[in-house]
Amino acid sequence: MKINRTYLFIVLSSIALLIVLIIQVNWVFNIAKIKEDIFNDKAKMVLAKTLEALGNDKVTCGNFEKGGSKNDKQKVDSLLQTNMKLYNIHIDYTFEINPAPSNENIFTNYLNLPQNSFQGCVDVPSSKSKLNFKLIFPEKEEFILAEMRMPFFISIVLILVVIIISWRTIFSVLKEKKIAEQTNDFLNNMTHEFKTPITNIALATKMITKELRIEKNEKQKKYTDIIQSENDKLKFQVEQILGMTELERGEIPLHQSKVNFDELIESVVHCMHLQFENCNAKINLELNAQNNSLLADAVHLNNAICNLLDNAIKYSTSNPIIVIKTFNERHDIVFTITDNGIGIDKSFHEKIFDKYFRVPTGNLHEVKGFGIGLAYTKFIIEKHGGAISLKSEKEKGTTFIISLPNA
């Protein structure tokens, strides 16, 4: 099954977003836990300090054995207040001091303590008994929540920002994909509509030539030849656009068979000899590949080579000199086409194989084209398991290098 890249991107980015959200929520909970731990540590320190001071005060301890007076409670309260200030705790608290029953299980007692209470024991110096000291913070939960307000708020804002940006990105990607598909469909339908007029023009030109015996009239023959050759060019472009779309969509498979590459090149050069003659092009063939057999779709490979030779002529300034070389490299046949044309600036080398890309020349395009030839050529070469690259500099000509695996 062919995986759609856009949907794969959306799924992957949604998963990444979900992971980020989980991490963010986890982070908020961790901060809450850390804040609570810090508070608990401080409260335990306050309790320990207070117990230490109380343990040294024999009289007050003794009094609490009998219940403790208001004065005793105030004394402990002021001790607590001092320690609270020391450890920076500024919330309400209460405390209880009771004689500890001798058979009390201290651990069960600690485990059963509510989250907002802290308990400790102090030995009464005058007797062998102990006092239970319980420090309670009734508003502990509210305090932690209040401390959490800022990070929680920032997290919510960040999460919302990330969700909105991701949603907008996904929405734009889907919208652009839809527009690209619609444009492609429109282009294909429009191009398809050109097929019938092109066939009719070709037929009509043939009929004119035949019926009116145009061969005898030089001028008329010249004009019908122009119509014929321009119509052929249009036909080639239309077939290329439609052929590429069909290949890309997997609607037509490549029909591969054993091909002799030297013969293929010679036949392409022969087919184009009129074009070469028209522009006084010089073709040098240096076919040195010992093993030139390939498994290929001869029609598509033929079109791909035609494109490269056509460009070598189209993008030349003076009389084109085109050198075609072949040689073997490991298990590949390497094929280069060098021209002495206008060259391609390095900054365009990556884009040159993109569909519809043409090297910008302002709004002035002396050479007409759709920017589809190289995209088609690359597509066909890669479909054959090969690779295409180029060496070129502005005004210093261009070399296209193609490697294809030997059969």
Q: Is 341 in the site for ligand ADP (CB under 6 A)?
A: yes
Q: Which residue number places its CB atom closest to ligand ADP?
A: 369
Q: Is 342 in the site for ligand ADP (CB under 6 A)?
A: yes
Q: Which is nearer to ligand ADP, 131 or 375 (CB)?
A: 375
Q: Which element (helix H / strand E) includes 314?
A: helix 298-314
Considering only 134-142, 213-221, 262-270, 338-346, which stretch makes contact with ligand ADP by CB under 6 A? 338-346
- Least CB distance to ligand ADP at residue 343 (A): 6
Of 41, 160, 151, the closest CA to residue 89 belongs to 41
Per CB under 6 A, which of residues 371..400 are in contact with ligand ADP?
A: 371-375, 398
Burial letters 108-129, b for 16+ CB under 10 A, else e: eeeeeeeebbbbbebebeeeee
Q: Is 303 in the site for ligand ADP (CB under 6 A)?
A: no
Pick from 359, 387, 401, 407 the residue near ligand ADP by CB under 6 A.
359
Q: How far apart are CA 405 and CA 242, in angstroms?
A: 27
Q: What are the helix (H) ranges across 87-139? A: 106-111
Q: Is 315 in the site for ligand ADP (CB under 6 A)?
A: yes
Q: How far apart are CA 62 and CA 89, in angstroms?
A: 29
For residue 257, the cross-strand partners are: 296
Of 21, 73, 76, the closest CA to residue 54 belongs to 76
Q: Is 311 in the site for ligand ADP (CB under 6 A)?
A: yes
Q: How far apart are CA 256 and CA 377, in angstroms?
A: 16
- Least CB distance to ligand ADP at residue 307 (A): 6
Pick from 369, 394, 401, 407 the residue near ligand ADP by CB under 6 A.
369
Q: Is 344 in the site for ligand ADP (CB under 6 A)?
A: yes
Pick from 73, 358, 391, 394 the residue near ligand ADP by CB under 6 A.
358
Is-contact 395 342, C-beta < 8 A? yes
Q: Which is nearer to ligand ADP, 168 or 351 (CB)?
A: 351
Of 387, 378, 291, the closest CA to residue 330 belongs to 291
Q: Which is nearer to ligand ADP, 107 or 356 (CB)?
A: 356
Q: Is 44 in the site for ligand ADP (CB under 6 A)?
A: no
119 three-state secondary structure: strand
Q: Which is nearer to ligand ADP, 79 or 352 (CB)?
A: 352
Q: Which is nearer to ligand ADP, 99 or 371 (CB)?
A: 371
Alpha carbon of 397 to those of 114, 257, 315, 318, 394: distances in Å?
85, 34, 9, 12, 7
List interacting residues with ligand ADP (CB under 6 A).
307, 311-312, 315, 339, 341-344, 352, 357-359, 369-375, 398
